[in-house]
Structure 1
Amino acid sequence: MIADYTEAPVCHVDDLVDGELKEVRVGDTDVLLARADGQYYALFPKCSHYQGPLVKGLLNGHRLVCPWHNACFDIRTGHRLEAPALNGLPTHEVRIENDQVFVRLTTNQESLENPMVTPDEAITETYVIIGSGGAGAFAAEGMREGGFAGKIVMLTESGEAPYDRPNCSKDYLQGKAPDEWMTLRSEEFYQDYGIDVRTGQHVTSLDPVTKRIELASGEAITYDKALLCSGGKPNALPGIDVDLKGVYSLRSLHDSQTLRELGKQGKRVVIIGSSFIGLEGAMSLRKLGSEVDVVGLENTPFEKILGEKIGRVIQGWHEKEGIRFHLGRKVAHIEGEGTVNAVVLDNGERISADFVLLGLGVKPRTDFLKDIPFEKDGGVKTDAYLNVKDGLYAAGDIAHYPTNDGFQRIEHWKVAGQQGHVAGLAMAGKEESYQAVPFFWSNQQGKRINYVGHATKVDEIIYEGDPEKDDSFLALYIQDGQIKAAAGLKRDQDIIAIRELMHEGRMPAVETARDGVKWVKELKKA
């Protein structure tokens, strides 16, 4: 706490309008000032996730959204409303006197935990979480936030407690993020809240009828309620020799550590797959000093998701850093006597390689489930509350959840975290349907692309700004006569506005988007 309780006038009562944000100084402390419904609020000015500048975000009612990764907070309490932030924001006292707004500093902390109950050993009811990714981490806290005081057991094959998985392909792989940055919560946190994180645990079966989970160790656990957030298993390259050394995927902290050590040695790497993980891996390994070649089936990176124009621009960013592309090509085979030494393409081209990184996407890890119907891709279908059946829930990469456009399965960290939180609350008895609009971000050569919404096919793309000429642009993806998704570079507030409009069912018509002036006015209304 701040001993002298510093107080200072920060503005006139009419200086801000509803929905406006301003960063002010109180003594030596930066404070975020926000106005909503005629009231002023004062908060810590940086996002508790990655310290993003919240003044550059967007305020919608009492919802404050971070510009970088769209974490969301309630300005009245500072509580975290949405992933990827785990913690909320400390607040300061505000008072009005003689048309002046005064802020009184009440804390110097950077974050606060959402209110959670402490465990009660007298309660024997047991909730089990299978998986320790974003969904599992947020679910455990959601259970305690929802008032569940019984036993929580988290089972994970990983050797670590929940950590920041998205960073495995970015700063951590580049050696710019120390190990202590990666852990989401301390060991003491999980002990204090009675969350039993059991690492190195391989689940071999789950029977929803008997509510029994069997582990490879021979141990069996019965549950009252369970959450499936087992994530995805990296897709393999068909026909590859499973005993061939030097072929890696990038899915875990261990994978990132292994690749980082190889990258530092200046080795030649061939990356098979030209989407987000593949190109983030290419960027990071190149920064470490590796020679990097990327092989992709598409003629342009991200062509199906972001469109050909943006894909060409991103390819150019990577080529400028010395990354070579071999696009529109399949891998014929991988050469090597016990260890990789080359990748041969379908056109006969041979690319020398000391190791290979596969970035071919993932498939749901659900093979341990009994008596649960699978979707075609191996995922499981849930209801609006992420319930599968009889006390069994699912979240994250494996979950097909209902939307107005049918069922969707989304493989994004923010989606997984928010689904886990909703599922955890529901399991604790606080049911709120999952209705969040999908959002993800990707770092491509130091440029953050934000994407909101979901389009299964793209009929047309409407651009605000030219991706090939401007350093800031917005792309709107049209499907069946509606704006279904948007991507942007340095258009953070626009992306947030679009997400809020999508969430509230107020997206403008496509014809409005074609008129730049009308479109800007609609976004400002958000």
Structure 2
Amino acid sequence: MLTDYMEEAVCGVDDLKDGELKDVRVGDTDVLLARVDGQYYALHPKCTHYQAPLSKGLLNGNRLVCPWHNACFDVRSGHRLEAPALNGLPTHEVRIEGDQVMVRLTTDKESLENPMSTPDPANNTTCVIVGSGGAGAFAAEAMREGGFTGNILMLTSSSQAPYDRPNCSKDYLQGKAPDEWMPLRTPDFYADYGIEIRTGQQVTRLDPQKKEIELSAGEGQPTERITYDKALICSGGKPNKLPVPGADLNGVHVLRSLHDSQQLRDLGQQGKRIVIVGSSFIGLEAAMSLRKLGSEVDVVGMEAIPFEKILGGRVGKVIQGWHEKEGVRFHLGRKVGTIEGTDTVEAVVLDNGDRLPTDAILLGLGVKPNVDFIAGIDREEDGSLRTDKQLQIADGLYVAGDVATYPTADGSQRIEHWKVAGQQGYTAGMNIAGQEMTYQEVPFFWSNQQGKRINYVGHAEKIDDVIYDGNPEQDDNFLAFYVQGGEVKAVAGLKRDTDIIAIRELMQYGQLPAVDKIRKGVDWKAELVTK
């Protein structure tokens, strides 16, 4: 049990330079020490997302960035600044005594919620969130953080309150993450902050002119109508279907939900043969997880090399090799011709006649925006909704996540990443609360491929050239810079966490070095400091 007076000298006043981090101990408690503009700060040392050691991250001014998934915190207050972390970091008191830095423990908590308002019964304003993914979860909290005290209603077709969806293809699918790890918040949290979540709700129509939402109440039941003052659409994506004979047989699965992951985990634990159609990030994460459970796994992909369009051929081949080493079989440059079976799938027949016997199929063919219920709003060619810089599409109506096409300096973008969805939800929620924020974050995503985490920042529509720092085929760490139109637009990295953080911070402020300088080699942390 901590006392109010547990205090120790942890270093000399000149031991750290501005921008440096150091793990220290006060008694039996680990503490992270940071120095910014000559001032020392002491915080909880692990990220509140997945407990990454923050001393392995990077400090840019007051921004402390996690090395694993790029969550971001303010070292001055401990407040969470960016997804995927929901909570902030507890802080401890720091004082200078002579030439020593003294830290006094003031809390034994491992995380703290950002300051949020509670609902005011006298405020009858209603905001409705359609969707319960990362965007919806962060939006609801941002509304309270931004000072909104009205009613918040979240409508979701899922049977679950917001949960950690990225884990559905990783540790949860492997049986390493228990059910209790998956919810983002407890029911008590949502009750305390007046966030009403209605699961199992099918929104059939949203009318931006009337500011009205219709819900299906089931056959023979009257339609329920809800009026809103402001609303957020973050309804996510619908899995693309496989347009071949037999695709409607039992045993054809997708991986978009906790329930989907549970079903696939059961199959994997039984050692079933599984064919994955689509060599996407989710598809190959699932291949990794199902293989670890003991399944025989075949992957069918139209591409000659997995991820070639996103990561380039060399990196794609390396990742394919990681999977093949673990027994995953690839059938690339191939399409599915037909699926055989009576009631349940029995085999996948490829366009070259090869027959793959199977007990189940997992489709990893991407998604399309789930927006069919929205009336009176034009769609983009891909079915998404075009927003302004505040993520608004109509009076009082906002969009975030997979369904949003938003403006950037390089043109419009639509990004299907968890961190992006969370940050967009946060921005939209703050705007609903009246804070007038602009969304202008550089995209970031991560993928776990056979236990190796690839981090990726930026966005490249096509790859004109790739610059490598390190050898992907031989080194256990590298950076790959993707050049489009004479500029580096995206970067992927393996075990180069602080470099990726520095690169994203430089991208964020339009200060990335020119291609010629990057070809010669850059000390990325030093480059960030000089900016």
Report the TM-score range of the alignment, normalised by the length of the smaller protein: over 0.9
Residue in 2 that maps onto 1:204: 204
Q: 1:263 is matched by which residue type in structure 2?
A: G
Equivalent residues in 2 for 1:322-333, closer than 5 Å: 322-333=327-338
With normalisation by structure 1, the TM-score equals 0.99
Residue in 2 that maps onto 1:69: 69
Residue in 1 that maps onto 2:180: 180
Preserved contact between residue 52 and residue 68 of structure 1 (Cα < 8 Å): yes
Residue in 1 that maps onto 2:91: 91
Preserved contact between residue 513 and residue 519 of structure 1 (Cα < 8 Å): no
Query: Which ranges in structure 2 are unaligned for 5 or more consecutive residues?
Result: 218-222
Equivalent residues in 2 for 1:353-502, closer than 5 Å: 353-502=358-507
Equivalent residues in 2 for 1:90-489, closer than 5 Å: 90-217=90-217, 218-241=223-246, 243-489=248-494
SS in 2 for 1:401: strand
| Post-superposition offset of 1:239 | 2.7
| Post-superposition offset of 1:97 | 1.1
SS in 1 for 2:310: coil
| Post-superposition offset of 1:516 | 1.7
SS in 2 for 1:190: helix
SS in 1 for 2:309: coil
Preserved contact between residue 246 and residue 338 of structure 2 (Cα < 8 Å): no
Preserved contact between residue 302 and residue 308 of structure 1 (Cα < 8 Å): yes
- Counterpart CA distance in 2 for 1:123 and 1:239 is 53
SS in 1 for 2:323: helix
Root mean square deviation of aligned Cα: 1.1
Measured against aligned partners, the alpha-carbon deviations of 1:345-369 in whole angstroms (never above 9, x if no partner) come to 1111000010000000000000000
Measured against aligned partners, the alpha-carbon deviations of 1:262-312 in whole angstroms (never above 9, x if no partner) come to 111111100001110110000001111100000001111111001110111
- Counterpart CA distance in 2 for 1:4 and 1:429 is 39
Measured against aligned partners, the alpha-carbon deviations of 1:400-442 in whole angstroms (never above 9, x if no partner) come to 0110011100000000000000000000000110011100000
With normalisation by structure 2, the TM-score equals 0.98
Larger CA deviation: 195-204 vs 235-244: 235-244
Residue in 2 that maps onto 1:512: 517
- Counterpart CA distance in 1 for 2:524 and 2:518 is 5
- Counterpart CA distance in 1 for 2:154 and 2:179 is 22
Preserved contact between residue 470 and residue 479 of structure 2 (Cα < 8 Å): yes
- Counterpart CA distance in 1 for 2:245 and 2:31 is 56
Preserved contact between residue 512 and residue 519 of structure 1 (Cα < 8 Å): no
Q: 2:442 is matched by which residue type in structure 1?
A: V
Preserved contact between residue 249 and residue 358 of structure 1 (Cα < 8 Å): yes
Measured against aligned partners, the alpha-carbon deviations of 1:463-516 in whole angstroms (never above 9, x if no partner) come to 010000000101011010111000000000000000000001100000000102
* Alignment coverage as a number of residue pairs: 526
Measured against aligned partners, the alpha-carbon deviations of 1:59-97 in whole angstroms (never above 9, x if no partner) come to 000000000000000000000000000000000000011
Preserved contact between residue 391 and residue 428 of structure 2 (Cα < 8 Å): yes
SS in 2 for 1:73: strand
- Counterpart CA distance in 2 for 1:279 and 1:291 is 13
Preserved contact between residue 4 and residue 106 of structure 2 (Cα < 8 Å): no
Preserved contact between residue 232 and residue 364 of structure 1 (Cα < 8 Å): yes
SS in 1 for 2:308: coil
Query: Which ranges in structure 1 are unaligned for 5 or more consecutive residues?
Result: none
Q: 1:154 is matched by which residue type in structure 2?
A: M
Change over 3 Å in CA distance of 1:518–1:250 after alignment to 2: closer
Preserved contact between residue 244 and residue 336 of structure 2 (Cα < 8 Å): no
Change over 3 Å in CA distance of 1:361–1:307 after alignment to 2: same
- Counterpart CA distance in 1 for 2:481 and 2:437 is 30
- Counterpart CA distance in 2 for 1:261 and 1:314 is 26
Preserved contact between residue 295 and residue 325 of structure 1 (Cα < 8 Å): yes
- Counterpart CA distance in 2 for 1:345 and 1:287 is 25
Change over 3 Å in CA distance of 1:518–1:85 after alignment to 2: closer
Residue in 2 that maps onto 1:81: 81
- Counterpart CA distance in 2 for 1:421 and 1:508 is 30
| Post-superposition offset of 1:343 | 0.4
- Counterpart CA distance in 2 for 1:519 and 1:244 is 52
- Counterpart CA distance in 2 for 1:2 and 1:398 is 47
- Counterpart CA distance in 2 for 1:521 and 1:18 is 12
- Counterpart CA distance in 2 for 1:76 and 1:522 is 23
